[in-house]
């Protein structure tokens, strides 16, 4: 699995993930991470649609609510999943003891939104 950030840090052209693509022969899955403090989704659409890896299944190796409770982000995230059929895995980042800003117990509205969202049939079963 190849899971870079979907944009450069710092945000300059030479740091974009397309410059670090190891090639189809070395990668089975492509993915990235997405947290609620980064709501803008244009980088994720661009990354997802890159022709170099558009034939690979897509994963969010980490995603989550970061900081304040944000059920709107949960809806935004699942909206992205529903409109991008190559997404086959989404792993919620949960850190209850080390980083309480990520803990779902501290985000009751987001937790409720997630409970509703995970009833979506495409997310059940075993990853291929």
CA pair distance 87, 59, nearest whole angstrom: 6
For the ranges 19-28, 88-97, 117-126, the lowest mean pLDDT is seen at 117-126
pLDDT above 60 (res 59):
yes
pLDDT of residue 71: 97
CB 28 within 8 A of CB 55: no
pTM of the full structure = 0.86
Domains in the chain, ordered, with CATH?
Answer: 13-123 (3.20.20.80)
In this predicted model, which residue has the larger pLDDT, 84 or 124?
84
- Verify cis geometry, omega within 30 degrees of 0, for the bond prior to 10: yes
CB atoms within 10 A of CB 75: 15
Residue entry with tokens 């993930």: 17
pLDDT of residue 126: 56
Mean pLDDT value across the chain: 87
Residue 120 burial (10 A CB sphere; 0-12, 13-18, 19+): exposed
Cα dihedral 104, 109, 113, 118, rounded to 10, equals 20
CA pair distance 64, 103, nearest whole angstrom: 9
In this predicted model, which residue has the larger pLDDT, 109 or 16?
109
In tens, the pLDDT along 63-120 reads 999 989 999 999 999 999 999 999 989 998 876 667 788 888 889 999 999 999 888 7
Nearest C-alpha neighbor of 112 from the set 60, 53, 65: 65
């Amino acid at each position: 699995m190849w899971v870079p950030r979907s944009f450069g840090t710092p945000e300059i052209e030479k740091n974009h993930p397309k410059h670090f693509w190891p090639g189809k022969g070395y990668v089975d899955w492509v993915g990235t991470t997405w947290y609620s403090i980064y709501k803008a989704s244009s980088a994720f659409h661009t990354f997802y649609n890159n022709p170099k890896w558009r034939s690979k299944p897509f994963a969010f190796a980490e995603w989550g609510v970061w900081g304040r409770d944000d059920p709107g982000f949960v809806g935004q995230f699942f909206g992205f999943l529903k409109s991008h059929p190559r997404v086959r895995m989404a792993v919620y980042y949960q850190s209850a003891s080390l980083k309480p800003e990520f803990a779902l117990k501290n985000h009751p509205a987001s937790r409720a939104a997630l409970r509703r969202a995970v009833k979506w049939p495409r997310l059940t079963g075993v990853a291929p």
